[in-house]
Chains A and B, each alone.
Chain A
Amino acid sequence: DVKVTQSSRYLVKRTGEKVFLECVQDMDHENMFWYRQDPGLGLRLIYFSYDVKMKEKGDIPEGYSVSREKKERFSLILESASTNQTSMYLCASSLPKSGFYNEQFFGPGTRLTVL
């Protein structure tokens, strides 16, 4: 069974704190993604990674950074959390498109509240 796990289901942080969201997949997938989901705005891509130590900006990277030191782990970092980063964060992974089978699998999500 495919599995993507995220470090926390719920997280409450204060403005200005550094926040780490961790994502781990056990499917040996090359691609990993971070999205945020907000009411009325749908899912928006923050960052993605095609391989270890590689990262690409998505549609809304401002205020975020990422780290991929190992293939199975992709971390999202909020350097200085702000209230407008209160959101649902979803991690996903997939095989690369070159195989023409690149179904994305999602983790359970982390609901982050920044006070």
Chain B
Amino acid sequence: GIQVEQSPPDLILQEGANSTLRCNFSDSVNNLQWFHQNPWGQLINLFYIPSGTKQNGRLSATTVATERYSLLYISSSQTTDSGVYFCAVVDNTDKLIFGTGTRLQVFP
């Protein structure tokens, strides 16, 4: 099955810093999603991005499907950005395959 790997596993930042999270996947995919899991456990949809670049406020994402990776950029990080970031891809049976996650902690 498709393997999804994320790096780094942990990231500690001071408020205001920028960061880049990476997601590598082992096979071609038709869609890719980025999620933020907040401290209460809710998975919040950030981007649906099978290819190309999208931006939403301080967050942006780029997926290069031909090279099997996606990047999530967080600029001017805030303490509310803390949590775990997951990328996930859909396999050929409609199942979502999650990456291992990046745990982000932002300190004031």
Q: Residues of A at under 8 Å CB distance from B?
A: 31, 33, 37, 42-43, 45, 48, 50, 58, 88, 90, 92, 94, 96-97, 100-106, 108-109, 111
Contact = CB atoms under 8 A, between A and B. Distances in A.
> Which 8 interchain pairs have the tightest Cβ spacing?
A106-B43, A103-B48, A109-B41, A43-B98, A108-B42, A97-B94, A104-B96, A88-B41
A33 B96 contact: yes
Contact of A102 (B42, B90, B101): B90
A61 B31 CA distance: 25
A102 B45 contact: no
Measured as residues with beta carbon below 8 angstroms from the partner, the interface class of chain B is 20 to 34
Given A45-B95, A90-B41, A104-B96, 12 more contacts: A31-B94, A33-B95, A33-B96, A90-B43, A92-B43, A94-B94, A102-B94, A103-B31, A104-B33, A104-B88, A108-B41, A109-B42
B45 to A, nearest CB: 6
Interface SS of chain A: strand
B95 A111 contact: no
Interface in B87-103: 88, 90, 92, 94-96, 98, 100-101
